[in-house]
Amino acid sequence: MAKSTIEKDILLVRCPNPHDYLGMHKTPKGVVVRAYLKDAASCEVVDVNDDMASRYKMKLIDPSGLYEAEIPGRDIFAYRLRTVSYAGEVRQFYDPYSFLPSLSEEDLYLIGKGDDHRIFDKLGSHIKTCGGIRGTAFAVWAPTARRVSLVGDFNEWDGRYHQMRALGSSGIWEIFVPSITAGVKYKYEILPANSDTPFLKTDPYAMRFEPSPYNASIVCDISSFKWGDAEWIGARAKADWKKRPISVYEVHLGSWKRKVEDGGRPFRYSEIGPELAAYCKKMGFTHVEFLPLSEYPFDGSWGYQVTGFYAPTQRYGTPLEFMRMIDDLHREGIGVIMDWVPAHFPRDFFALAKFDGTCLYEHQDPRQGEQKDWGTLVFNYGRNEVKNFLTGSALAWFERFHIDGLRVDAVASMLYLDFSRREGEWIPNKFGGKENLEAIEFLRSTNSLVKKYFPGSIMIAEESTAFAGVTKPVEEGGLGFDFKWNMGWMHDTLAYMREDPINRKYHHGQLTFPAMYQFSENFVSVYSHDEVVHGKSSMVNKMGGAYWGDKIANLRALYAYMWMWPGKKTLFMGSEFGQSHEWKYDSSLDWHFLEYPEHAGIQRVVSDAANLYLKDAALAEGDLDATKFSWINCHDGNNSVISFLRYAGKKVYAVVCNFTPVMRSGYRIGLPIKGEWREALNTDATIYCGNGDGNCGKVQASQIPCDGYEFSAELTLPAMSTLVLVASRE
């Protein structure tokens, strides 16, 4: 008998709807069952309700493993397949082609509309029960593919044996396989529209991957994990972080500390949580911010070139171990923020690039689809399914893994069509402007949905331009972020600190200018990983002057100034104790530097300043309020001294910074309150390995007008120091 067209398509692995041929189908005389099987010497159809008596032998109709059985007089019934392999192994299993689609019409409608807020429960691989049978459902978006097959260890990576079903015009391919459970490796074999050569792709929605070079997706089940952070999540939902202290410890997990006794390997997720939490509590940090922990192929990208937007990287353990780390941190009151990279993705062919043979996730036109600075591809934010993929990624990290916030990387590259492009290398928007309207809408929508579903979450933008309204609410026309990294403050202060102290008076404006825009956005003062790599030198070596004298004292003064300046705080690991080497992603921080009192003193200044900020809640309440800040004197460039006030409830803090290696006696500053001002912090104290100069713990403000204030006090300003004085308004 001649082969039908659909049978030929099955054998040639060209069929978009294999369920129309394989499985059980009604015929005028009864039913017919067809199965395409790997390594089966024989096969039978077994009635599950009468498996001893009702067995129907199948006929091999193609030597590659295509079997068929015509069963007269029967209506559709539940069945299993019973095979005997050439090696004599007997298997009995439910036929993947006997199941209805695991996605509903409503699912397909919402995904196509780009409005499925739980798309991570639909696409990808999911262990579930279908028709009373336990197995794994797979679904992938590949709209221009001619055929998609599920391949893996279970079918020897042969695309003939688990051909997937196309679900109408949705572009989604689906199959449910009863025999597949957690831990099974898989990929999708895709036959593109423009070639007869199929290729393999990892699952964009996979929750787990194997290491390079194979990078297979892995079926994952996290349902067994028992969270113990209900108290934290409940309190988070009620928190107004704009008025709460936020001191973020930025961490690259693979190089914070390493297991010296175990070959110098990085900590696993399951190991690092308690130790990291204890360190943060000691130091006064409220949150950890991890450099991206989404799966990525190249160690040297530090996680910023992502191939698994839904998966914790396998470098440090399994998703369950990742959950344990989050839970450990939460139980100790430490929040978790993770860097998230929706701006671009790498060209690695096993992942998103030309996913179905076309530019699916990226723009086809290189003027929109290529990011030349990083050699990566840019997402097509105008495509509903792409926006849904990215928004779903953000929501999944909160939902599945209980993270508390995302720091969105490279936002400026998303906002502007001409970002790092010359004339003629970019395409204006529909109004002729340079703003990327689709990316802006994506950011607004994602921020809104995160806030809707996860109260108390934190969204932070790394945005380096003067784009207006980054932290303005969406309903008021803004992007809807909670906070924005203050890149201008960072660059200006470091440029000033690099100067030899003798020259700083000529650069005084770099210290004072940031106050002009300090309250235009909700800012985070930050010294990040970007400032201690690629030849930029470590934080301590950025300071002007001699190493053991000026540089270390300068860094102590800078950190105290940072914590007393308005805004939230972020500091990259190792900077808190003045590591002298640039950060290296593939080795541990130089913790042995703490054996030197000078470096231990830097660490103690950070701890004392952060704990001062943490314990006086009123300070944080005024972080974003211009009425809670005022200059005492911002004009004393000749002495390289600045002084300002922070109003914190019933307290007033006076902060005086002397950024020269000259002690200044009898230095008068204006103050708003008469009487005693206590010295809350002096970075030159001997406990910090300073010289011990200062004001014996307090000063008296008398009724002598100065700096526009009714009262004033004479201070001794230690060389290269920050003083923090506090008085009560009662």
Task: Give the torsion through C-alpha atoms of 237, 242, 244, 247, to 10 deg.
Answer: 110
pLDDT score for 2? 52
Q: How confident is the model at residue 594 (pLDDT cuts 50, 70, 90)?
A: very high
- The pLDDT > 70 percentage for the chain reads 99
Of the candidates 16, 27, 365, the residue with the CA atom closest to the CA atom of residue 191:
16
- Indicate whether 391 pLDDT > 70: yes
- Indicate whether 3 pLDDT > 80: no
| Distance (Å, whole) CA 568 – CA 577 | 20
Of the candidates 539, 492, 517, 607, the residue with the CA atom closest to the CA atom of residue 247:
607
DSSP 581: S
- Indicate whether 502 pLDDT > 60: yes
> Of 250, 339, 370, 462, which is the active-site residue?
462
| Distance (Å, whole) CA 513 – CA 52 | 86
pLDDT single digits (tens) 150-171:
999 999 999 999 999 999 999 9
| Distance (Å, whole) CA 674 – CA 659 | 27
State residue 449 phi and psi, 5-degree precision: -70, -40
Q: How confident is the model at residue 549 (pLDDT cuts 50, 70, 90)?
A: confident
Residue recorded with tokens 């008596």: 53
SS (H, E, C) 296-319: CCCHHHCCCCCCEEEEECHHHCCH
Least confident of 49-63, 121-135, 213-227: 49-63
Answer yes or no: same fold for 23-94 and 105-218: yes
- Indicate whether 107 pLDDT > 50: yes
pLDDT single digits (tens) 343-377:
999 999 999 999 999 999 999 999 999 998 999 99
Q: Across all residues in the chain, what is the average pLDDT?
A: 96
pLDDT score for 113? 95
pLDDT score for 531? 95
| Distance (Å, whole) CA 651 – CA 646 | 9
What is the average pLDDT across 221-227?
Answer: 97
pLDDT score for 53? 72
pLDDT score for 260? 86
- Indicate whether 590 pLDDT > 80: yes
Give domain 245-617's CATH architecture. Alpha-Beta Barrel (3.20)
Residue recorded with tokens 């934080």: 539
Q: How confident is the model at residue 51 (pLDDT cuts 50, 70, 90)?
A: low
The two structure tokens encoding residue 295: 């799966």
- The pLDDT > 90 percentage for the chain reads 95
In single-letter form, the type of residue at position 294 comes to: S
> Of 409, 463, 598, 623, which is the active-site residue?
409
- Indicate whether 471 pLDDT > 60: yes
Catalytic, 174? Answer no
Q: How confident is the model at residue 50 (pLDDT cuts 50, 70, 90)?
A: confident
User: Which CATH superfamily, name and number, covers 105-218?
Assistant: Immunoglobulins (2.60.40.10)
The helix/strand/coil state of 96 is helix
What is the average pLDDT across 443-448?
Answer: 98
Would you put residue 502 in left (φ > 0), alpha (ψ -120 to 50) or beta?
A: alpha
pLDDT score for 371? 93
pLDDT single digits (tens) 255-277:
999 998 888 899 999 999 999 99
CA–CA distances in Å: residue 673 to residues 457, 485, 576, 706: 38, 33, 33, 12
The answer to whether residues 384 and 112 touch, using CB atoms and an 8 Å cutoff, is yes
Burial of residue 592 (CB within 10 Å: 0-12, 13-18, 19+) is exposed
pTM of the model: 0.95
pLDDT score for 729? 86
User: Which CATH superfamily, name and number, covers 23-94?
Assistant: Immunoglobulins (2.60.40.10)
> What CATH class has 627-728?
mainly beta
Catalytic, 462? Answer yes
pLDDT single digits (tens) 634-682:
999 999 999 999 999 999 999 999 999 999 999 999 999 999 999 999 9
CA–CA distances in Å: residue 196 to residues 145, 360, 410: 11, 19, 38
pLDDT single digits (tens) 608-625:
999 999 999 999 999 999
pLDDT single digits (tens) 293-344:
999 999 999 999 999 999 999 999 999 999 999 999 999 999 999 999 999 9
- Indicate whether 514 pLDDT > 50: yes
The two structure tokens encoding residue 519: 């309250």
Q: How confident is the model at residue 35 (pLDDT cuts 50, 70, 90)?
A: very high
- Indicate whether 5 pLDDT > 80: yes
**Long-range interactions of 698-706: CB distance < 8 A, separation 24+:** 699/725, 700/675, 700/676, 701/671, 701/673, 701/674, 701/675, 701/676, 701/677, 701/727, 702/674, 703/674, 704/668, 705/670, 706/668, 706/669, 706/670
SS (H, E, C) 220-257: CCCCCCCCCCHHHHHHHHHCCHHHCCCEEEEECHHHHC
Where are the domains positioned within the chain? 23-94, 105-218, 245-617, 627-728
The two structure tokens encoding residue 612: 């001062």
pLDDT score for 1? 41
DSSP 98: G
Count of beta carbons in the 10 Å neighbourhood of residue 234? 11
